[in-house]
């Protein structure tokens, strides 16, 4: 093979290889229970390898309406409950004040390395209403203003004490609050159907930062009659700039083009 063709092919392969496409996430957060842990909330055993720990920042185990932590990586992750104020949100008092809470389960034990990501989480309570959920803000770190990022939400609940072996499906829609509530991703898991791969209940879409460099995602219940907004973990990844990728591709193609024999040229 022509030396230039080899060079061009190598550049193309580099640009398109899985290794090049799977750069380390800008942000990888494991959402833990505040007080229950494996074996304790302060034990890093609750946090999956490669993730930073986040948990509700209140001093009690009561359900919360807002929680914020700034991580060592420089990112600030904030959750707020979103209450739809539906008068039939499950309580005898009518529109109960919305809140979210955390749990740590004994399962799953089936994911290769992310069991501790999947076994603890935060979730929007029934008090948030049938159309309520969680608002997520991420800021700081390497986030740039008015820029698109790949955002992933891990969402799974292994079992509820009152649930036995039932296997309901729980779904939630995540919308981009910075982009007219454009759909970003849908979480969809089956209770008691444990993940067999690390990414089985990882759901990914694209969201944009606002002028201050902040992501704003809205997670909303889409399962009738059941809780369904759960967050076990978050990832934010940069999207390779089209200009950069195009430059690499064009560079490779030009080199390949140069390797073509000219008309009349013998090979």
Residues lying near Ca ion in the complex (CB under 5 A) are found at 30, 32, 38, 46, 83, 89, 95-96, 98, 104, 116, 119-120, 127, 129
> What tokens does 113 get?
């390395």
* Helix (H/G/I), strand (E/B), else coil: 6: helix
* Rg of the chain over all Cα atoms, to the nearest angstrom: 23
Taking the C-alpha atoms of residue 234 and residue 47, their distance in angstroms, rounded to an integer, is: 12
Q: How far apart are CA 68 and CA 66, in angstroms?
A: 7
- Please report how close the Cβ of residue 188 comes to Ca ion at its closest, in angstroms: 20
CA distance 28 to 50: 7
Nearer to Ca ion, 46 or 209 (CB): 46
DSSP line for 63-99: -BSEEEEE-TTSEEEEEEEE----TTSSBTTBSPPP-
Least CB distance to Ca ion at residue 53 (A): 7
Residue whose CB is nearest to Ca ion in the complex, by number:
120
Among residues 130 and 177, whose Cβ is nearest to Ca ion? 130
Residue 40 CB, nearest approach to Ca ion (Å): 10
Question: Between residues 208 and 227, which has the closer beta carbon with respect to Ca ion?
Answer: 227
Of 8 and 98, which CB lies nearer to Ca ion in the complex structure?
98
* Residue 70: its H or E element: strand 66-70
At its nearest, how many Å lie between Ca ion and the CB of residue 218?
16
Q: Which is nearer to Ca ion, 202 or 252 (CB)?
A: 202
Nearer to Ca ion, 32 or 155 (CB): 32
The DSSP bridge partners found for residue 186 are 173
Q: From CA 152, how far away is CA 201, in angstroms rounded? A: 10
Q: Which is nearer to Ca ion, 119 or 176 (CB)?
A: 119
Q: How far is the CB of 30 from Ca ion (least distance, A)?
A: 4
- The dihedral through the CA atoms of 103, 198, 77, 223 has a sign that is negative
Report the first-to-last Cα separation within the chain, whole angstroms: 11
Buried b (16+ CB within 10 A) or exposed e, 112-130: eebbbbbbbbbbbbbbbbb
Residue 25 tokens, joined? 């996430």
Nearest approach, Cβ of 65 to Ca ion (angstroms)?
A: 11
Smallest distance from Ca ion to CB 76, Å? 19
Min CB(11)–Ca ion separation in Å? 40
| Separation CA 221–CA 206 (nearest Å) | 19
State which residue, 15 or 128, has the beta carbon closest to Ca ion. 128
């Amino acid at each position: 093979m022509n030396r230039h063709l080899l060079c061009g092919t190598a550049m193309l392969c580099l640009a398109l290889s899985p290794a090049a496409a799977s750069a380390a996430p800008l942000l990888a957060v494991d959402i833990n229970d505040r007080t229950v842990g494996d074996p304790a909330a302060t034990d890093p055993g609750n946090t999956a390898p490669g993730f930073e720990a986040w948990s509700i920042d209140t001093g009690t185990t009561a359900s919360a309406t807002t929680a914020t932590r700034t991580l060592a990586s420089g990112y600030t992750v904030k959750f707020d409950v979103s209450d739809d104020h539906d008068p039939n949100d499950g309580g005898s008092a009518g529109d109960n004040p919305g809140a979210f809470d955390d749990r740590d389960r004994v399962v799953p034990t089936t994911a290769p390395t992310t069991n501790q990501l999947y076994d603890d989480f935060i979730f929007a309570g029934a008090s948030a209403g049938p159309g309520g959920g969680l608002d997520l803000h991420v800021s700081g770190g390497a986030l740039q203003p008015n820029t698109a990022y790949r955002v992933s939400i891990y969402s799974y609940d292994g079992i509820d004490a009152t649930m036995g072996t039932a296997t309901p499906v729980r779904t939630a829609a995540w919308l981009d609050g910075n982009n007219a509530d454009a759909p970003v991703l849908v979480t969809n898991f089956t209770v008691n159907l444990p993940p067999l791969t690390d990414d089985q209940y990882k759901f990914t879409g694209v969201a944009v930062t606002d002028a201050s460099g902040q992501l704003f995602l809205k997670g909303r219940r889409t399962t009738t009659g059941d809780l369904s907004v759960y967050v076990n973990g978050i990832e934010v990844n940069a999207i390779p700039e089209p200009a950069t990728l195009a430059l690499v591709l064009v560079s490779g193609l030009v080199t390949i083009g140069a390797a073509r024999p000219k008309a009349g040229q013998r090979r």
